[in-house]
Chains A and B, each alone.
Chain A
Amino acid sequence: MKFTVTVTLKKDVLDPQGKVVLNTLQNLGMDNLKSIRQGKYFEIDMNDIDEEKAKKKVDDMCKKLLANMIIEDYKVNKI
């Protein structure tokens, strides 16, 4: 059972990297850009059969390690 996890900075938290990437893309002539936020992406393959249980485990992983809950949010998707 496969899941993807996307970790992004919380809405109001400054993203210095996103800011620099945005400026650079604008300088390269890509216009109409409003904002860019950078994040992390994980693919997780689990041996579980029960989807709900597995999802809960992934959730736990995010909270405990993958995301820094103080400044980051995460999204879990089953694929």
Chain B
Amino acid sequence: MKITNQVVEKHGLNLEEYSNIKKFLKREPNLLELGIFSAMWNEHCSYKSSRRHLKNLPTKGKQVIQGPGENAGVIDIGDDDAIIFKIESHNHPSYIEPYQGAATGVGGILRDVFTMGARPIALLNSIHFGSPEHFKTKSLLNGVVSGIGGYGNCIGIPTVAGETKFNKTYNENILVNAMAVGHAKKDKIFYSKAKGVNKSVVYVGSKTGRDGIHGASMASAEFDENSEEKKPTVQVGDPFTEKLLMEACLELMKDNSIISIQDMGAAGLTSSSVEMASKGDLGIEIHLDKVPCREENMTPYEMMLSESQERMLIILEDGKEKHAKEIFKKWDLDFVIIGKTTDTNKLTLKYNGKIEGEIPLDALASKAPVYDRKWVKKKLIKSKFDFKKLKKIKIEDALIKILSSANHSNKNWITNQYDQMVMCDTAQKSGADSAVIRIHDKEKAIAVAVDSSANYCKAHPLTGGKQIVCENWRNLISVGAKPIAITNCLNFGNPEDPKIMGEFAECLIGIKESCEFLNYPVVSGNVSFYNGTNKKNISPTPVIGGVGLIQKLEKPMDHLFKKKNSDVLLIGKTFGHLEQSVFLEEVHYILDGRPPEINLVNERNNGETVLEIIKKDLVNSVHDVSNGGLIVALAEMSMGSDFGIKIKKPKNLTNLYKYFFGEDQSRYILEVDKNNLERVEKILKNNNIFYDNIGLTQNDYFEIEDELKIDIKKLYKINNQWYNNY
């Protein structure tokens, strides 16, 4: 096939990139080679638009064993235990085929984690859909939720936390981000870097079919009317085979057979072989006629670019082939030596003895294009709305409207479709601020949570970026965990648009500021650009997944009120920030102004103090104040509990709406027993924390003095109705 400009463009490469390819090869590539360049040089694999900005993130720390650049990040949680985790997007495939897209998203992120030697112990997800009224939303929602459940339930890893959001910005481009968390022994972590020449390169797992050919390129191109045509490339997930692959890999990892291992994810055999060899500063030779194929007459091009799921590439120590093969045979999986490492620094592809393609590895990896894309700063918008002109609405009605909305209603109907209990270490499930997973056979536990705030990030990316890291930090603190590190999934629009690139750059600056200040490094992540259709870009949606440590799990801390007559303390200052709030969005349909500012000093002090109080066992329940403000947080502490609260009228702030619905940051609510009140107040005063005693818990009712009184069972019902009526 002649490589015309049209063929080049079809591979998602521009002509300048193509001329660089010719320079590296010192000749014209053939189609196979062009396909490989297109897979490695696209946004998804090369991070060509994002790399310059990602470099600035803090990635080191006392507890970081491995930062970004590997299959997943690794942190030290003491003793000989390590936690390995990462989040990844599967947005485009999920829009095309929601069930399989979401399922294979879960499968892919699990492989990233067990590839490194970890047994996965928890799955999380962050899923974003268009407005509920949009004609596609319902089937996308149901498909994605079943796909996530279908895969996680079958493989037997609990899906323990997540978020589901609706916003018209995702009408034509949903987001499906999946996070996996695994546990490994510190001295048994496996990396992708190859070592040694003439070592066997082994293919294990499922056979290769024509699935997802050019999937990685698809993930890097906007949708247009023709995206229907790209449909046949969607992969089908097989969680059963993945379970076998996981058990087989973990079994082989028990001894020292493996030099390096890499899953075949996006761009399949291409990216896995290139990554292993280039990281090891070696070459690699692959005999494509040996690749196990599912279909007849597959070409080298198809084999190299196939994204069939549930496959791995392993480089074995000498003499371990037989032992390894027996393990994979036991699990009924393919095991084929398809090549060897070389000292040529080239990717050499042979078919029936003949060289079909040969590319210097640096051209595919270290010399892949990096762009310094133009970006513009976003100005802080002054809000235009006049508070006095807002339509009058009773506080009770506003609260009910929020609690019954798609975004703020209870998501049990989703999480009940996920097995959250399998493995018997889930101490706290979905619905709490963070899920808590005990480390098997140990006293310690980890807390995990995912967060995003697209509205804040859209309004002011820098503040928004800062805010989500803090919000995530708070969620871990609220269950008594010390936050350790994060992974991020950066979902943005078209980076070739300077405004979008600006959103990206500024969100990252915000993330960096918070991470640095809170000593909360980024250890892994994923960038997903080109989210949007026909130049309509999604709101910037960085998603943060955090992991924290609970040294000794004695009783899991959650947000439900536990007793009556406890004092309820609000930690942190309330200014009444209503711009960009849920109150304005859900009740008045206004999205305007700037997001709430974060004072990082207060954030850290408040958080560390709350953690100290929880550790001393002085509180009955804890909740952070986030979307919807104080009143929603207090309602959440009442719903599902047997106890409500009687809230005093605020002393200082006269405007009740600002007081109750304002989304000022760095705030927590503590439920404190009368007996412990003095000790808690002493700690708060010693640490110079601003707090306020806002009321007392009571039986049955959610009440604001002289303002409203609602039965908490009724409130619970209101909060659980949305999906039934959908």
A9 neighbours in B (Cβ, 8 Å): 236
A20 neighbours in B (Cβ, 8 Å): 240
**B211 near A: Cβ within 8 Å?**
yes
Docked CA distance A16–B308 (Å):
12
**B294 near A: Cβ within 8 Å?**
yes
A6 neighbours in B (Cβ, 8 Å): none
Write the nearest CB–CB distance from A27 to chain B, whole angstroms: 10
Docked CA distance A13–B237 (Å):
10
Q: Which of B97, B232, B234, B238 contacts A16 (CB 8 A)?
A: B238
Q: Which of B235, B236, B332 contacts A23 (CB 8 A)?
A: B332
Known contacts: A14-B211, A16-B241, A20-B240. The answer to whether A71 contacts B308 by CB under 8 A is no
B209 neighbours in A (Cβ, 8 Å): 12-14
**B295 near A: Cβ within 8 Å?**
yes
Known contacts: A68-B97, A71-B100. The answer to whether A12 contacts B234 by CB under 8 A is no
Contact A70 B240 (CB under 8 A): no
Contact A71 B234 (CB under 8 A): yes
Contact A10 B241 (CB under 8 A): no
Contact A16 B210 (CB under 8 A): no
Write the nearest CB–CB distance from B246 to chain A, whole angstroms: 15
Docked CA distance A14–B309 (Å):
10
Docked CA distance A13–B232 (Å):
8
Docked CA distance A74–B663 (Å):
53
Interface residues on B, range: 20 to 34
Docked CA distance A65–B327 (Å):
42
Interface centre among A14, A23, A71 (most CB of B within 10 A): A14
Docked CA distance A73–B104 (Å):
21
A68 neighbours in B (Cβ, 8 Å): 97
Known contacts: A68-B97, A70-B231, A71-B97. The answer to whether A14 contacts B240 by CB under 8 A is no
Q: Which of A12, A14, A70 contacts B238 (CB 8 A)?
A: A14
Contact A70 B241 (CB under 8 A): no
Interface of chain B: mostly helix, strand, loop or mixed: loop
Complex interface bits, A59-72 against B, C-beta within 8 A gives 1, otherwise 0 = 00000000011110
Contact B294 A10 (CB under 8 A): no
Write the nearest CB–CB distance from B51 to chain A, whole angstroms: 33
**B96 near A: Cβ within 8 Å?**
yes
Write the nearest CB–CB distance from B13 to chain A, whole angstroms: 25
Contact A16 B240 (CB under 8 A): yes
Docked CA distance A71–B231 (Å):
8
Smallest CB gap from B96: residue in A: A70
A13 neighbours in B (Cβ, 8 Å): 209, 211, 236
Known contacts: A23-B332, A71-B234, A71-B236. The answer to whether A12 contacts B97 by CB under 8 A is no
A70 neighbours in B (Cβ, 8 Å): 96-97, 231-232, 234
**Those of A1-40 within 8 Å (CB) of chain B:** 9-16, 19-20, 23
Complex interface bits, B213-239 against A, C-beta within 8 A gives 1, otherwise 0 = 000000000000000000110111010
Known contacts: A23-B332, A70-B231. The answer to whether A16 contacts B96 by CB under 8 A is no
Write the nearest CB–CB distance from B121 to chain A, whole angstroms: 25
Known contacts: A20-B240, A68-B97, A71-B97. The answer to whether A14 contacts B234 by CB under 8 A is no
Smallest CB gap from A13: residue in B: B236
B332 neighbours in A (Cβ, 8 Å): 23
Write the nearest CB–CB distance from B312 to chain A, whole angstroms: 17
Contact B96 A14 (CB under 8 A): no
Interface centre among A13, A68, A69 (most CB of B within 10 A): A13
Complex interface bits, B452-481 against A, C-beta within 8 A gives 1, otherwise 0 = 000000000000000000000000000000
Docked CA distance A13–B234 (Å):
9
B241 neighbours in A (Cβ, 8 Å): 16
Contact A14 B308 (CB under 8 A): yes
19 pairs of residues in contact across A and B, judged by CB atoms under 8 Å: A9-B236, A10-B232, A11-B295, A12-B210, A12-B232, A13-B211, A14-B209, A14-B211, A14-B236, A14-B308, A14-B309, A15-B236, A16-B241, A19-B238, A70-B96, A70-B231, A70-B234, A71-B97, A71-B234
Known: A12-B210, A15-B236. 9 other contacts (CB 8 A): A13-B211, A14-B211, A14-B236, A16-B238, A20-B240, A70-B231, A70-B234, A71-B100, A71-B236
